[in-house]
Structure 1
Amino acid sequence: MASASWANWKTTAAPWTVGVEEEVMLLEVDGSPAWRSEDVLRILPEELVEHARGETHGLALELATQPHARVSDAAAELRSMRAGLAGVVRSLGLRAAVAGMHPLVTADEVEVSPGARYQFLHQSLRELARREPTFALHVHVAVPDAELAVRALNGMRAHIPVLLALSANSPFTRGRDSGLASARTPVFQAFPRTGIPREFSSYAEYVDAIDILIRCGAIPEPTFIWWDVRLQPKLGTLEVRVMDAQTRIRDTAALVALVQCLVRCEALGTCAEPELAHAPEVLDENRFLAARDGIHAQLLDPHRDRCVPASGRLATLVDACWPHARELGCERELQLLAHLAGDPGATRQRAIATEPAGLRGLLHTLQAEFSPPRPQLALAA
């Protein structure tokens, strides 16, 4: 581990801060994909340049907030960045929207971004790099030291199915209903080095597992590991990556609050539930069930020899998170989880798509919800 310079853990003066990364789709006015991320990046105003970057596919951009002590501040910055980006894309005759997948795009029309990283991906992954674009929500939480981060990583593995179930926001792909709440999950899993990582006994073991891939030339650096949850040593954060991107910022804020509290809870060892330390086979099956059925999933509970509702598991997690929410100042955002669970993204998308305008109407709704024109109270959008 000593020779792996990438593994030096950045210690921050303010642990448990959160940063949010949101992947955004670019659209033509009629809702069809706009493969013009490079055009948008070239004309970004100064205040957005450091917070936006391209992604693998030419219709995608990523917006990234600064680290914030409070979830409300991260949500406010994300809202501001959405508004700024909306103005930029409109100047090009385009629109922006957020969901786990574009409901109409097919792989044969996909364009890979021209950046060196993405061309390397295309060379490495071949036609896998041209699968349908996916859009995720990534949440970074600063952890004081590497060993605490590994403890949190191990604990967060058990919560991946609930986080996925709650965030599922991509029922449509290739112009039809996938039957899944999160079609993004299996589509993204076409890439290697995805899914729930194994448990690690120490930070040294974590570093060794990744460094062998770097030393042998399989990957150029650690961010080519796309696990559902991973460590970011250069930032000093644990990053949760399993969630679909959320159309409404209030839903994003609720999920960010849950992640922030769970990471702190697991790192400090105050919310460990031994019964959640399931075998990898159970975690993988629950991950599939969460992607299939969203918050309505029935998750395997091998200790009771039966299935339990994902919504019930969520309620248990929220109860464990309340002391941390009070410490972190995100009680209000944690309360919003009840609204998201009662009105999840996949269910909303399906309801909108049953209207006469169908999936085109859904795309127009996603555009409208990206950055509402009139001023909103915090978390109201």
Structure 2
Amino acid sequence: MALEIFHSSEPLTLGVELELQLVNTHDYDLAPYADDMLRLMRKHKLPGSVVPEITSSMIEISTGICHSPQQVREELGQIRDALVHSADKLNIAVVGGGTHPFQQWHERRIYDKPRFKEISALYGYLSKQFTIFGQHVHVGCPDADSALLMLHRMSRYIPHFIALSASSPFVQGHDTAFDSARLNSVYAFPLSGRAPFVLRWDEFGVFFDKMTRTGVVNSMKDFYWDIRPKPEFGTIEIRVFDTPLTIERAAALAAYVQALAAWFLADAPFMPAEDDYLVYNYNRFQACRFGLDAIYVDPASGEHLPLREHLLATLAHVRPHVQAAGADGALEQLRESARQGQNDARWLREAQTKEQLLAEVSRQASLRFKSALPPTAATGRR
């Protein structure tokens, strides 16, 4: 199968996908209600889409093509409100977060869709363990070569994205000591990790042809990379974010991606190199394990510094390039989050310390997703 032509798209446009938990309101365990939710959601006229995910206790929502973080928040808000309305009818709840805190993977059901059945047949129990929940952010690129350049520039900031979105400290009823345990499950798949270091689309096509000749890959969907090009959309897709507990946080993370992309296109602040990836896995691990308290190794200088310090410096760099509606407020939320060291993983741990019951933590997280937060409260403590 030949590599798709990279379609043109408007630079810096955004698209956001969120994978969400469906839980019962008895003990707040995952519940197989995807079909019922999809049936009810079809009655609502909404932007974007609502589709099933690999197991039947999950659902994925996505925006349309957005020009600003404000538009992302508005579209996600419309879909969120319809989800909550539908869930109330079914006496279930919708929850954010990168993992469900106490579900048992062997109890999950693979959703009845050919691609999901194929994945299950190939990957066995890993497919049920893939009941994890992420946010994907697409950003528009002017052309194919620019997309690859942006992909590899963006890779330096993967630890920022992980630490800011981390919301998966609990797995199978236990505190993992990771802020983002979700990404450990992704790494179990053989085609995960990072994209190959090529900066021209024709060179990427050569790589893709080699992979398809092996029979291991049939399409771009078979790559579970942290960032991958999406030629049919004219975007790159960043896939390392845990699903946040609120749509406000999701929109703020999209704002950060857009601001970085604008900085790259305007200033070309550095040229990525293969050697950038010498510290990639270490930085990625640090962010998963310690969140905003991680150490960051600068790929260019080799300097070790607090991730929080590197994040705040980067937010200062991108500030002159922020023009889209809602971006200033969204990035200020992230600055405050970095200053306080507060992400959703910390919120979940604090709730568990107080309640000593993960079902109650999940219930409170469902209320957090359900409520529209004012901009000033979107990332802080409540």
Asked if these proteins are the same fold (TM beyond 0.5), I'd say yes
| Residues 295, 311 of structure 1: 8 Å contact kept | yes
Distance 1:327 1:129, change over 3 A: closer
1:266 matched to 2:234: no
CA distance in 1, matches of 2:293, 2:21: 27
**TM, length-normalised to structure 1:** 0.92
SS at match of 2:11: coil
Moved more, 74-83 or 248-257: 248-257
Aligned twin of 1:199: 197
How far apart in 2 are the matches of 1:127 and 1:155? 35
Conserved in 1, the CA contact under 8 Å of 2:47 and 2:75? Answer: no
The CA distance in 2 between the partners of 1:22 and 1:302, in whole Å, is 30
**Distance (Å, rounded) in 2 between the aligned partners of 1:55 and 1:69:** 26
Q: Equivalent residue for 1:171? A: 169
1:24 lines up with 2:23 in the alignment = no
| 2:279 counterpart residue number | 282
1:1-381 map, 5 Å: 4=2, 6-12=3-9, 14-29=10-25, 30-44=27-41, 45-48=43-46, 51-272=49-270, 278-301=275-298, 306-326=303-323, 330-341=327-338, 342=340, 343-372=342-371, 377=374, 380-381=377-378
Quote the Cα distance in structure 1 between the aligned partners of 2:320 and 2:369.
Answer: 32
C-alpha distance in 2 between matches for 1:168 and 1:376: 19
Shift of residue 215 of structure 1?
A: 4.2
**CA deviations over 1:111-149 (Å, ceiling 9, x no partner):** 211111100111121222121511111111111111111
Distance 2:247 2:90 in 1: 24
Could you tell me whether the CA contact under 8 Å between 2:24 and 2:30 is conserved in 1? yes
Contact 1:169 1:246 in 2 (8 A): yes
How many aligned residue pairs are there? 374
The worse-fitting range, judged by mean Cα deviation, of 119-128 and 195-204 is 195-204
Output the CA distance in 2 between the equivalents of 1:17 and 1:150. 16
TM-superposed deviation, 1:194: 1.2
- Superposition RMSD on alpha carbons, in Å? 2.2
Rounded Cα–Cα distance in structure 2 between residues aligned with 1:191 and 1:110: 19
> CA 1:303–1:16 in 2, change beyond 3 Å: closer, same or farther?
closer
SS in 2 for 1:326: coil
* TM-score of the two chains, using structure 2 as the length reference: 0.91
Kept after mapping to 2: 8 A contact 1:168/1:244: yes
Query: Is the partner of 2:236 in helix, strand or coil?
Result: strand
- Assess, with a 3 A threshold, how the Cα gap between structure 1 residues 96 and 128 changes in structure 2: closer, same or farther: same
Write the distance in 1 (CA, Å) between the matches of 2:60 and 2:114. 16
Q: CA deviation at 1:188?
A: 1.8
| Identity rate, percent | 28
**C-alpha spacing 1:379/1:194, structure 2 compared with 1 (3 Å):** farther
Aligned partner of residue 70 in structure 2, secondary structure = helix
Structure-1 separation of matches of 2:326 and 2:336: 19
Answer with 56-65 or 333-342: which moved more: 333-342
1:200 maps to a residue whose letter is V
1:75 CA drift (Å): 0.8
Q: 1:37 to 1:262 in 2, by over 3 A?
A: same
Q: Which stretch has the larger CA shift, 361-370 or 326-335?
A: 326-335
Amino acid in structure 2 at the alignment position of 1:19? G
Q: Residues 168-201 of structure 1, C-alpha deviation per residue, up to 9 Å, x if partnerless?
A: 1110101010010100010121122112223213
Moved more, 202-211 or 241-250: 202-211
